[in-house]
Amino acid sequence: MGNFINLLAVGVLLTFIFVGLAYLIALSNNNRMKGFGLAIIIWLFLAVIYDGLFILSLIVFEDYHLESFSLISTMFNPIDLSRILIMLKLDVAALLGYTGAVFNKFLGTGLGIGVAFTALIAWVILPLAAYLKIAEKKDF
């Protein structure tokens, strides 16, 4: 039951995040095609390109201790953060290899899960705050 609630909470947060980003993009762009293109680019970056850049940076800087870097950079992508939260809750973090052990060490604790959910909630609040700021200035 706990896994289902975690999946449901993460799914709801991801929905709120991307709806908030969509509203922010729609309000900040008057040209529909530019807004649609920006939405596709943001989604593509967060879903595909960010992972590639993250793995590339881990490979290039493999001689350094990258535990804190990988934890912090994961907070900047809500899709990866929610994916890792679900994998940790299902006890399949071993599939992630070394980074799975790092994430399990920090995000597997109560503090880590709290920090991860706080980061996801910040991903909801920041686009909403920007949306409200732009909406106040806009003359409809």
- Which range (1-5, 50-54, 99-103, 114-118) has the least confidence? 99-103
In this prediction the pTM is 0.85
Between 130 and 98, residue with greater pLDDT? 130
Domain extent at residue 77: 2-137
pLDDT tens digits along 7-29: 999 999 999 999 999 999 999 98
Residue 85 CA, distance from chain mean position:
11
Residue in the block written with tokens 């709801």: 12
- N-to-C CA span, the chain: 46
> Chain-wide mean pLDDT for the chain?
88
Average pLDDT on 47-74 reads 88
Name, in order, each residue with C-beta under 8 angstroms of 11's C-beta and a sequence gap of 6 or more: 82
| Residues in Cβ contact with 49 at an 8 Å cutoff, skipping those fewer than 6 apart | none
Closest to 3 measured CA to CA, from 104, 79, 107, 90: 90
Residue of 119, 93, 124 lying closest to 108 (CA atoms) = 93
Give Rg (Cα) of the chain.
17
What total number of domains does the chain contain? Answer: 1
